[in-house]
């Protein structure tokens, strides 16, 4: 148990305001996570820490430097993000709906938002726990929030920093797109969008195998797959081994996390290395440019034909549907914006 240096303080200084996350629908289930008690103060604290460069070694970078809300918490159309170690090795993924994610990063190397935040700060911002805690302890705007968010003894610790950031990131829920509204009877899909949905959700487009997930509606199955992006004669020829580095299994070489297809208008460029700048390029790839390697996902059923071979109209309709998954209210929500501006 932590010593309580503030034992004479009134209890009211250590009681936060309860906050309840709203489920998008009764069928939606939130994953269990380390800190299941949300408070208004804890979320506010996490938001501040997310945006404050105080957590980086030289106080120049924050989580928000690379995860911008107006781009669905991706990095402003950049192929790779810049950090204290130089450019990232992979494209910055969106943080949307991460409350439903089982593993984080393209290679799945972390099991929780807390661990992922620590990983990112340590690798990209050269996080030093003692240094960060010392700087935060000197800030009068932070001290009372740590007390309210985590109760007695009110001390500021490395663990609490990442619990707070994780609390804030779990509020990044996007479920108010036109498609979501159509399910609630508040929007009617156009003819093109309806045709695109039919392509998406049948063998015609094969999208649904990887990009549906039942009641969670994240539009990813949360699996790690080889999507025929790069060719390799043998697994030893795979250049970026992805999940294989985490598991140590050669069978996992070249497998990466299936990303959500929500908010694609804001999260370009696409794929783990950001090689495609437009949705048209992505659809053209799946239509006509699949590449062989030994452990291609069985979901890529048209690999032997090189792709789906969609017509120009079918491609246009599919993109029309994908754009119904854009959530303008999410990317403009001021609850996620930089609190220091």
pLDDT digits (tens, 9 = 90+) for 186-228: 999 999 999 999 999 999 999 999 998 876 689 999 999 999 9
97 confidence band (pLDDT: 50, 70, 90)? very high
Instruction: Kindly report which listed range (3-12, 26-35, 111-120, 126-135) carries the lowest average pLDDT score.
Output: 26-35
> Which burial class, exposed, middle or buried, applies to 250 when counting CB atoms under 10 A from its CB (0-12, 13-18, 19+)?
middle
Coil, helix or strand at residue 283: helix
pTM: 0.93
State how far Cα 255 lies from the chain centre. Answer: 17
Give residue limits of the domains in the chain. Answer: 11-174, 178-325
238 confidence band (pLDDT: 50, 70, 90)? very high
Give which of 108, 125, 124, 153 is closest to 55, Cα–Cα: 125
Burial string for 80-103 (b: 16+ CB within 10 Å, else e) reads bbebeeeebebbbbbbbbbbbbeb
- Compute the distance between CA of residue 205 and CA of residue 184 in angstroms, rounded to an integer: 25
Instruction: Kindly report which listed range (136-140, 175-179, 209-213, 223-227) carries the lowest average pLDDT score.
Output: 209-213
pLDDT > 90 in the chain, percent: 83
Instruction: Give the mean model confidence (pLDDT) for residues 277-288.
Output: 98
Q: What is the pLDDT of residue 85?
A: 82
pLDDT digits (tens, 9 = 90+) for 267-282: 999 999 999 999 999 9
| Same fold: 11-174 with 178-325 | yes
Q: State both tokens at 207.
A: 């999208």
Instruction: Kindly report which listed range (3-7, 274-278, 316-320) carries the lowest average pLDDT score.
Output: 3-7
Q: What is the pLDDT of residue 10?
A: 87
Fold of 178-325: Cytochrome Bc1 Complex; Chain D, domain 2 (1.10.760)
Indicate the average pLDDT of the chain.
93
Q: State both tokens at 121.
A: 């700060």
- Compute the distance between CA of residue 290 and CA of residue 272 in angstroms, rounded to an integer: 16
Q: What is the pLDDT of residue 57?
A: 87
What does the DSSP assignment read for 129-191? Answer: HHHHHHHHHT-TTTHHHHHHHH-TT----HHHHHHHHHHHHTT-----SHHHHHHTTS----H
pLDDT > 70 in the chain, percent: 94
- CATH class entry, domain 11-174: mainly alpha
- Compute the distance between CA of residue 234 and CA of residue 291 in angstroms, rounded to an integer: 13
């Amino acid at each position: 148990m932590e010593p309580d240096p503030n034992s004479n303080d009134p209890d009211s200084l250590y009681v936060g305001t309860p906050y309840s996350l709203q489920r998008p629908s009764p069928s939606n289930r939130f994953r269990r996570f380390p800190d299941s008690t949300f408070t208004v103060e804890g979320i506010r604290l996490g938001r501040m820490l997310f945006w404050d460069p105080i957590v980086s070694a030289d106080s120049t970078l924050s989580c928000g430097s690379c995860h911008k809300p107006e781009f669905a918490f991706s990095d402003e159309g950049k192929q790779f993000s810049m950090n204290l170690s130089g450019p990232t090795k992979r494209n910055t993924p969106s943080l949307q709906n991460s409350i439903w994610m089982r593993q984080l990063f393209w290679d799945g190397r972390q099991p929780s938002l807390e661990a992922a935040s620590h990983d990112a700060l340590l690798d990209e911002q050269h996080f030093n726990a003692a240094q960060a805690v010392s700087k935060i302890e000197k800030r009068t705007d932070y001290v009372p929030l740590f007390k309210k968010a985590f109760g007695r003894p009110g001390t500021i610790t490395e663990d609490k920093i990442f619990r707070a950031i994780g609390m804030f990131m779990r509020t990044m829920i996007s479920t108010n797109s036109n498609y979501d509204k159509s399910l609630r009877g508040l929007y009617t899909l156009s003819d093109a969008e309806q045709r695109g949905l039919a392509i998406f959700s049948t063998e015609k487009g094969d999208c649904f195998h990887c990009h549906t997930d039942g009641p969670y509606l994240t539009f990813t199955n949360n699996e790690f797959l080889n999507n025929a992006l790069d060719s390799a004669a043998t697994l030893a020829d795979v250049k970026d081994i992805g999940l294989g580095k985490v598991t140590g299994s050669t069978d996992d070489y070249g497998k990466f996390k299936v990303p959500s297809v929500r908010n694609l208008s804001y999260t370009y460029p696409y794929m783990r290395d950001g090689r495609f700048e437009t949705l048209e390029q992505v659809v053209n790839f799946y239509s006509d440019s699949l590449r062989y390697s030994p452990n291609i996902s069985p979901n890529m059923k048209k690999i032997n034909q090189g792709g789906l071979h969609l017509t120009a109209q079918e491609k246009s309709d599919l993109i029309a549907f994908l754009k119904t998954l854009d959530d303008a209210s999410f990317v403009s929500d001021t609850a996620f914006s930089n609190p220091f501006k």
